Amino acid sequence: MLGAPGAGKGTQAKKLADKYNIPHISTGDIFRANIKNGTELGKKAQVYMDQGLLVPDELVVDLVVDRFKDADCKDGYVLDGFPRTIPQAEALDEALSKSGERIEYAIDVNVADEVIIDRMSGRRACLNCGATYHVVNIPPKKEGICDTCGKSLVLREDDKPETVKKRLAVYHEQTQPLIDYYINKGILKSVDGTKTMDETFHEIVQVIEM
């Protein structure tokens, strides 16, 4: 699943995983599981993370490919937020080809930057219980107050327009080239992420089941 921060790719990845009964795999989850379980790969990743460094591509790919060996991946999986760069994509393709596998679809949830900025700046979060809202799409019953616990809602630093613009700039620089990479491989499918969540999901399912 490809898409800018706030495009909704994570939500769509989870819906796909549920529909086809396959795992939704994100590198964050893999890192946490390996570190928690004290695996060799987890220990290596922890060294970099403790120093505030990015985990090298080679190690990230090793962690992801190791996850594919689990029994729940036998019928497939949805990758969310990985690969992020061309070197990661190339290393993943190489690792998969060794076991006779390949990425079947790269699905880009396409949303214009200005729409994402509007979307994310409308988000509100409860720092007490973790509930999230949107001033237009999922408003709380009482403005600025969490329905669940009654505490005040805030606009997180990550969702402020200036922060979102910076995150989008990084995305376009690092991850956007993946779009061209998968176009050249003939497996990129782009869907309209400005539609409702269900409409976008229906479009993704149509792509897969064509």
Question: Of these residues, 15, 119, 123, 124, which one is catalytic?
Answer: 123
Q: Annotated catalytic, 189?
A: no
Q: Annotated catalytic, 141?
A: no
Q: Annotated catalytic, 167?
A: yes
Question: Of these residues, 156, 160, 189, 195, which one is catalytic?
Answer: 156
Residue in 167, 116, 127 with CA at minimum distance from that of residue 149: 127
Contacts of 42 (CB under 8 A, 6+ apart): 31, 33, 34, 35, 36, 63
Place of tokens 């695996």: 39
Contacts of 41 (CB under 8 A, 6+ apart): 34, 59, 62, 63, 66
Q: Annotated catalytic, 123?
A: yes
Question: Of these residues, 14, 44, 84, 160, which one is catalytic?
Answer: 84
Place of tokens 């921060």: 5
Q: Annotated catalytic, 84?
A: yes
The sign of the CA dihedral 48, 165, 193, 148 is positive
Question: Of these residues, 9, 67, 119, 124, which one is catalytic?
Answer: 9
Question: Of these residues, 14, 44, 160, 167, which one is catalytic?
Answer: 167
Active-site positions read 9, 84, 123, 156, 167
